[in-house]
Amino acid sequence: MANVQSFVNNPYQENTYIVYDETGECAIIDPGMDTASEQNVVVDFIRKNNLKPVLLLNTHCHIDHVLGNKFIFDQYGLKPQFHEGELPVLDAIPAYAPAMGIRYELSPLPDNYLPETGTVTFGNTRLHLIFAPGHSPAHLCFYDKESNILMGGDVLFRGSIGRSDLPGGNFTQLIDNIEQKLLILPDDCVVYPGHGPDTTIGYEKMTNPFLN
Provide the pLDDT for residue 212.
77
Kindly tell me if the per-residue pLDDT of 153 is higher than 80: yes
Q: What is the pLDDT of residues 56-82, one digit of tens each?
A: 999 999 999 999 999 999 999 999 999
Q: How far apart are CA 30 and CA 88, in angstroms?
A: 17
Average pLDDT over residues 127-150: 98
**Helix, strand or coil for residue 165?**
coil
Distance, in Å, from the CA atom of 49 to the CA atom of 17, rounded to the nearest integer, reads: 15
Q: Note the pLDDT tens digit of each residue in 187-208.
A: 999 999 999 999 999 999 999 9
Going from the N-terminus, what domains does the chain have, and what CATH number goes with each?
3-207 (3.60.15.10)
Whole-angstrom distance, CA of residue 200 vs CA of residue 187: 7
| Residues 80-106: tens digit of each pLDDT | 999 999 999 999 999 999 999 999 999
Mean pLDDT to the nearest integer, 141-158: 98
Over residues 133-150, the mean pLDDT reads: 98
Q: What is the pLDDT of residue 30?
A: 99
